[in-house]
Amino acid sequence: MGNMQGMMKQMQKLQKEMTSTQDEINKTTFTGKSAQDLVQADFTGDRKMTGLNINPEAIDPDDPDMLSDLVLEAVNNALAQIEQTTQAKMGKYTQGLPF
């Protein structure tokens, strides 16, 4: 019975550590950038966009598709950073689990 209590305490500690790590990631700002930094997209770790900066050089009225591509590139770059950071920090908690 004592072994079960010890395991439960260990699981509670692990859960607190996971929550703390996720909170840390959520509070982190990730900045995605397009080519030549013409567009920058800022996100929190919980994938909420907090800013979008567009360099005036990126605005070409004759080529709106270019601006769209730059925005997509910056957004996807930021989201990839969030995913990589989440995997790096949270992956240690899920290694070896069957799901």
The pLDDT tens digits for 21-41 are: 999 999 999 999 999 999 999
The pLDDT assigned to 63 comes to 95
The pLDDT assigned to 65 comes to 96
pLDDT tens readout for residues 54-82:
999 999 999 999 999 999 999 999 999 99
More confident residue, 80 or 14: 80
CA atoms of 97 and 79, how far apart (whole Å): 25
The pLDDT assigned to 99 comes to 53
More confident residue, 94 or 9: 9
The pLDDT assigned to 4 comes to 85
Q: Give the global pTM.
A: 0.81
Which residues does 17 contact at the CB level (< 8 Å), separation at least 6?
Answer: 93
Using 50, 70 and 90 to split pLDDT, how confident is the model at 1? low
- Find residue 31's DSSP bridge partners: 42
The pLDDT assigned to 73 comes to 98
User: Which contacts (CB < 8 Å, 24+ apart) does range 89-92 have?
Assistant: 89/21, 89/24, 89/25, 90/18, 90/21, 90/22, 90/25
